[in-house]
Amino acid sequence: MGTQPRKLPTKLINAKGTFTPVGVSRSSNEVCSAVSEALRNYFVIDELQDLASETISSFAGSEAATVTHCTASGITVSIAATMTGTNPDRIAALPDSSAMANVVVIPAGHNVNYGQSLVQAVRLSGANPVFAGDDALCTLDDLEQQISNHDSCCLLLTSSKLVQSPPIDFAGAIEIAHSYGIPAVIDAAAQDFRIRELVRTNADLVLISAQKYLASPTAGLVIGRRNLVDAVRAQENGIGRGMKATKESILGVLAAIEEREKLDILEWQSSQDRKTSYFVERANMLPGMRASVERDPTGLPFSRVVLNVSSEKATLDATTMAAQLKAGSPSIWVMDQNAGEGEIGLELVQVTKSEIETILSRLSALLL
């Protein structure tokens, strides 16, 4: 019998941002070498985690830090840590949390869905989430009421463009949590550029996905107070076993942080700005297309391109355009969540110059 030809993976250009279903980000040669070297060797994992704690803490301005498999698992083990501390009996008992303070208070609008709902990551620990306020608004009074009404183990906040409700004063919310003697955790998965600012809110733990803008292998950074970080590490002998960091991810993270520390942010920012302005200028020459630049709504140091497709002048609408970009070769992935309103977004942070030319020529082939 002859061998069947195998289907090759789809070639794609990712202009959708740090999107998990297409592999999130691309790592540098330095990060790839660190990973490759890690895979060839043995290490005492506790020593790697101690080293990671030092390196990440000096990057973030925190007391301590640890690496988990990703941010979704980082949420689960961080919540677990707020219920158990380092008590081995409690750690072994999870996800049965009936003998512990186990209510997690979350502003209703912060229950984002990043492919999984945030509350599911909370429930996996055995904790019980409750919401404060509603999707339209959560005041500090709403938060205080929920914290004081329950046997709470922590306050959980989200810092993300996925949050649709009006911004909450994080430092104020955290002060309330502390006045009731409970810690505050921030899910800030894509916010590595703002890590120092988030740590300065006095949060007890801040969670970052290292595979997003830091472009390391998949890993969650759990950053904050030493006693809670120790309690997160202790979950590895409990529910955290299936959520552990690998040696190659820890060493990849260290290489990625070393690179970020060398990065001249202002220089990087202006090269990003040049890419988006070039794209916008070229896209504005296409019929039925109005292109503009939109700053990241959460304060990340870059902009995205927004294309408004006018259904009268253009030969096709935004939804069809996004679908045809994806169906072609290479498959081009764009932000299409507002395509129904005639809008397509493109994040060019990790898109190369030649990929930009490919996207522009595919757009013009579709429109001209």
Site residues for ligand PLP per CB under 6 A: 20, 70-72, 112, 114, 158, 160, 162, 187, 189-190, 209, 220
291 with 306: CB under 8 angstroms?
yes
Question: How many residues belong to the chain?
Answer: 368
Rounded to the nearest whole angstrom, what is the least distance from the CB of residue 142 to ligand PLP in the complex? Answer: 21
Own/partner contacts of 276-279, CB < 8 Å, gap of 24 or more, are: 276/302, 276/303, 276/304, 276/305, 276/348, 278/356, 279/305, 279/346, 279/348, 279/356, 279/359, 279/360
How far from 233 is each of 42, 66, 99, 222, 337, CA to CA, in Å?
Answer: 20, 7, 21, 10, 37
Rounded to the nearest whole angstrom, what is the least distance from the CB of residue 18 to ligand PLP in the complex? Answer: 7
Closer residue to ligand PLP in complex, CB, 83/118: 118
15 with 348: CB under 8 angstroms?
yes
**Nearest-5° angle of CA 109, CA 115, CA 116?**
70
Rounded to the nearest whole angstrom, what is the least distance from the CB of residue 101 to ligand PLP in the complex? Answer: 24
Rounded to the nearest whole angstrom, what is the least distance from the CB of residue 130 to ligand PLP in the complex? Answer: 19
Rounded to the nearest whole angstrom, what is the least distance from the CB of residue 328 to ligand PLP in the complex? Answer: 27
Closer residue to ligand PLP in complex, CB, 112/223: 112
Using DSSP, state whether 160 is helix, strand or coil.
coil
Rounded to the nearest whole angstrom, what is the least distance from the CB of residue 69 to ligand PLP in the complex? Answer: 8
Q: Cβ atoms within 10 A of the Cβ of 292, count?
A: 14
How far from 337 is each of 20, 22, 319, CA to CA, in Å?
Answer: 15, 16, 9
Rounded to the nearest whole angstrom, what is the least distance from the CB of residue 20 to ligand PLP in the complex? Answer: 5
Q: How far apart are the first and last CA of the chain?
A: 48
Give the C-alpha separation, 17 to 347, whole Å: 5
Give the C-alpha separation, 49 to 239, whole Å: 18
Return the bridge partners of 157, or none.
Answer: 186
Give the C-alpha separation, 51 to 137, whole Å: 41
Rounded to the nearest whole angstrom, what is the least distance from the CB of residue 77 to ligand PLP in the complex? Answer: 12
Closer residue to ligand PLP in complex, CB, 40/241: 241
Rounded to the nearest whole angstrom, what is the least distance from the CB of residue 229 to ligand PLP in the complex? Answer: 18
Closer residue to ligand PLP in complex, CB, 158/359: 158
Return the bridge partners of 72, or none.
Answer: none
